[in-house]
Amino acid sequence: MLDIGPIHRTEYELGDDRSEPVVIAEAPGRIHYLGEHGEPKAGLFLSSTIDRYIRLAVSLRKDSSLRFYAADLGERKRTTLVNLKYKREDRWANYIKVAIHVFAELGCPVKGLNFTVAGDIPQQIGLASSSAIEVAAAVALKGFFNVGVSDEELIKRLAAAQTLFFGKNTNFVDYLVAFSAKKDTFLVVDEDSMETKRIKSPFAKYKILVMDSRVPRFGVEEELKQRRQDIKKGLELLSQKKPGLNFRDYAATDLVESMGDLPEEIRRRCMHIVQELRRVNDAEDALRRSDLSVLSRVFLHSHESLRDLYEVSCPEIDWLVKRALETEGVLASRMTGQGFGGCTVTVIAEEAIGEYRRRLEDYERIFGFHPLIYEVKPAGGTQVVQAAAPTPAIPSA
| Residue 22 scores a pLDDT above 80 | yes
Model confidence band, residue 72 (pLDDT cutoffs 50, 70, 90): very high
| Residue 206: CB atoms within 10 Å | 20
The predicted structure's pLDDT at residue 268: 95
Task: Give me the helix-helix angle, 292-308 and 315-325, nearest 10°.
Answer: 160
Of these residues, 63, 174, 184, 282, which one is catalytic? 174
All CATH 3.30.70.890 domain ranges in the chain, comma separated: 206-376
Q: Assess contact for 342 and 180: CB atoms under 8 A.
A: no
Query: Taking all residues of the chain, what is their mean pLDDT, rounded to a whole number?
Result: 92
The predicted structure's pLDDT at residue 171: 76
Model confidence band, residue 393 (pLDDT cutoffs 50, 70, 90): low
The predicted structure's pLDDT at residue 41: 87
CATH number of 4-200+380-395: 3.30.230.10
- For 121, phi and psi rounded to 5 degrees? -80, 125
Give per-residue pLDDT as tens, 144-172. 999 999 999 999 999 999 999 988 777 78
The predicted structure's pLDDT at residue 70: 96
Give per-residue pLDDT as tens, 204-214. 899 999 999 99
All CATH 3.30.230.10 domain ranges in the chain, comma separated: 4-200+380-395
Q: Assess contact for 133 and 141: CB atoms under 8 A.
A: no
Amino acid in the structure at residue 387:
A
| Residue 27 scores a pLDDT above 60 | yes
Give per-residue pLDDT as tens, 246-288. 999 999 898 888 888 899 999 999 999 999 999 999 999 999 9
Compute the radius of gyration of the chain from its Cα atoms.
22
Q: Assess contact for 348 and 329: CB atoms under 8 A.
A: yes
Residue 101 region, left (φ>0) first, then alpha (ψ -120 to 50), else beta? alpha
**Among this protein's residues, is 90 annotated catalytic?**
no
259 beta partners: 262
| Residue 30 scores a pLDDT above 90 | yes
Q: Assess contact for 44 and 50: CB atoms under 8 A.
A: no
Q: What is the mean pLDDT of residues 28-40?
A: 94
Assessment of whether the complete model's pTM goes beyond 0.85: yes
Give per-residue pLDDT as tens, 242-256. 888 899 999 989 888
How, if at all, do strands 343-349 and 206-212 pair? antiparallel
Give per-residue pLDDT as tens, 313-370. 999 999 999 999 999 999 999 999 999 999 999 999 999 999 999 999 999 999 999 9
332 beta partners: 347
Count, residues in the chain? 397
Q: What percentage of the chain exceeds 90 in pLDDT? A: 82
| Residue 91 scores a pLDDT above 80 | yes
- Residue 40's contacts (CB-CB under 8 Å, 6 or more residues apart) are 169, 171, 228
The predicted structure's pLDDT at residue 19: 64
CATH number of 206-376: 3.30.70.890
The predicted structure's pLDDT at residue 395: 57
The predicted structure's pLDDT at residue 16: 72
